[in-house]
Amino acid sequence: MYEKKDLRVLKIIQKAREFGDLDLCNEILVNQLVNSTFNEIDFKEKEELIALLNSLIEVKDKALLSN
């Protein structure tokens, strides 16, 4: 009859739309991210992941500014 949805996912999608972030408007992706279990990582892996994410954000910002 009605599909039960996770309120957290809907709130994230709503905020993503308000801020114009199309990457987080995908309900299936956000649902998987919210409900996934993450393994613990060590400090070095955490630092590498932070550096990777920061570089991706910088590239996205540069691409948006070049339009």
CA distance 67 to 16: 21
Domains contained in the chain, number:
2
- 49 and 26 inside one domain: no
- 31 and 51 inside one domain: no
- In tens, the pLDDT along 2-34 reads 888 889 999 999 999 998 888 888 999 999 989
- 31 and 61 inside one domain: no
- pLDDT over 80 at 67, yes or no: no
Whether pTM > 0.85 for this model: the answer is no
Q: How many CB atoms lie within 10 A of CB 37?
A: 4
- Over residues 47-51, mean pLDDT: 92
**Burial zone of 35 (CB within 10 Å; 0-12 exposed, 13-18 middle, 19+ buried):** exposed
Structural domain span for residue 51: 38-66
Percent of the chain scoring above 70 in pLDDT = 99
- 12 and 22 inside one domain: yes
